[in-house]
């Protein structure tokens, strides 16, 4: 693959482009020469007995438009990238333009966010204008995964849940860190450690029993001893460990779906959830307001929901 990124290919592309432009002019010169081929101003070609090809010259407007196109192409290639590795005299790149546009946008928005910079999350959630800005930031950045109502979906956390039902996002500062740096949540496959397929099913019913969800009580009793394999992360009572990122199994918050099948799938295949970092898309001031807005969403809900 390295053969396709060396300097030789850049020279090949540049040479092919220049030669192509020159050949366009040569082709125009050849085509513009009018030669008399017959007394009746035809090329002498006849189809279907009476369909004759005329030998009229190229229209002047078409010729000049062709020339202008070629000249414009040559000038464009002198200023902008297009001739292999040659960057053009203006040294333009899409990345540089993007950075410049981001800088202009940040400068334009700086006065808007200036008054929120030193405000606490508690102060921001009580500021209607700040929350309106936070809502728009959320809809543009977060709603694609967490939903427009912030209640999430399968695999995407519900941001309206109370702090005690969430992992690593109890405070506004924790939320800010997650927005900036992203977060990964991993559960390794545990089926081999638990035992047979029947053992995995029994553990699933025991997990359901921890939250008072409908379950097979006999299977749950059989799975209780096997749950010791899971207790290292989720705790002997299944209440989780926020330091390890292990969720509480005694509430009724199911990130990847509820029921025997969903739990068996988690034990058998494991889970790997990833939230990408947003620090490169948002300014620190925007993250500050967005974190406060997201933190405020959890304060509006007093009880966890399924």
**In whole angstroms, what is the distance from residue 176 CA to residue 227 CA?**
35
263 in a structural domain: yes
CATH of the domain at 202: 1.10.760.10
266 in a structural domain: yes
93 in a structural domain: no
pLDDT of 166 strictly over 90: no
Please calculate the CA angle 227-233-237 and round it to the nearest 5 degrees. Answer: 55
Domain match, 293 and 146 both: yes
- pLDDT for the residue numbered 6: 65
- pLDDT for the residue numbered 1: 45
Domain match, 224 and 282 both: no
pTM: 0.69
92 in a structural domain: no
Domain boundary, last residue among 79, 113, 128:
79
Domain match, 150 and 290 both: yes
88 in a structural domain: no
Least confident of 40-44, 137-141, 150-154, 271-275: 40-44
Domain match, 271 and 283 both: no
Domain match, 259 and 285 both: no
- pLDDT for the residue numbered 4: 55
47 in a structural domain: yes
Domain match, 280 and 176 both: yes
Hey, CA dihedral for 294, 298, 301, 306, is it positive or negative?
positive
Domain match, 169 and 280 both: yes
Q: Give the total number of structural domains in the chain.
A: 3
Q: Quick one: pLDDT band at residue 210, thresholds 50, 70, 90? A: very high
* Structure token pair of residue 224: 């209780």
pLDDT of 303 strictly over 60: no
| Mean model confidence pLDDT for the chain | 88
- pLDDT for the residue numbered 3: 56
pLDDT in tens, 218-269: 999 999 999 999 999 999 999 988 888 889 999 888 888 888 999 999 999 9
pLDDT-above-70 percentage for the chain: 94
Domain match, 285 and 268 both: no
Domain match, 163 and 226 both: no
87 in a structural domain: no
Q: Quick one: pLDDT band at residue 69, thresholds 50, 70, 90? A: very high
**In whole angstroms, what is the distance from residue 108 CA to residue 104 CA?**
6
Domain match, 63 and 173 both: no
**In whole angstroms, what is the distance from residue 158 CA to residue 220 CA?**
28
pLDDT of 124 strictly over 90: yes
- 242 is in which domain, residue-wise? 186-275
Asked if residues 203 and 230 have their Cβ atoms less than 8 Å apart, the reply is yes
Domain match, 193 and 164 both: no
pLDDT of 304 strictly over 60: no
Domain match, 7 and 55 both: yes
pLDDT of 2 strictly over 60: no
Q: Quick one: pLDDT band at residue 34, thresholds 50, 70, 90? A: low
Cβ density class 62-71: b for 16+ within 10 Å, e for less: eeeebeeebe
């Amino acid at each position: 693959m390295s053969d396709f990124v060396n300097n030789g290919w850049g020279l090949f592309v540049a040479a092919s482009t220049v030669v192509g432009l020159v050949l366009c002019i040569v082709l125009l010169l050849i085509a513009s020469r009018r030669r008399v081929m017959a007394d009746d101003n035809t090329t002498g070609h006849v189809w279907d007995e009476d369909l004759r090809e005329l030998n009229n010259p190229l229209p002047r407007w078409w010729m000049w438009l062709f020339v202008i196109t070629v000249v414009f192409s040559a000038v464009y290639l002198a200023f902008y990238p297009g001739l292999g590795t040659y960057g053009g005299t203006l040294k333009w790149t899409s990345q540089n333009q993007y950075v410049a546009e981001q800088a202009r946008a940040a400068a334009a928005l700086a006065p808007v966010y200036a008054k929120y910079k030193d405000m606490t999350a508690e102060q921001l959630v009580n500021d209607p204008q700040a929350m309106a800005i936070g809502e728009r930031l959320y809809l543009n950045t977060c709603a694609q995964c967490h939903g427009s109502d912030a209640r999430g979906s399968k695999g995407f956390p519900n941001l309206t849940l109370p702090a005690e039902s969430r992992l690593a996002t109890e405070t506004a500062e924790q939320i800010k860190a997650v927005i900036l740096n992203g977060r990964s949540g991993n559960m390794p496959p545990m089926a081999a450690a638990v035992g047979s397929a029947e053992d995995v099913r029994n553990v699933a019913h025991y997990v359901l029993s921890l939250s008072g969800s409908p379950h097979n009580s006999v299977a749950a009793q059989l799975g209780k001893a096997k749950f010791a394999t899971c207790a290292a992360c989720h705790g002997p009572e299944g209440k989780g460990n926020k330091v390890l990122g292990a969720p509480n199994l005694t509430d009724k918050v199911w990130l990847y779906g509820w029921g025997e099948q969903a739990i068996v799938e988690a034990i058998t295949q494991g889970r790997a959830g990833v939230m990408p970092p947003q620090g490169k898309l948002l300014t620190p001031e925007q993250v500050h307001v967005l974190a406060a807005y997201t933190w405020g969403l959890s304060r509006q809900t007093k009880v966890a929901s399924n």
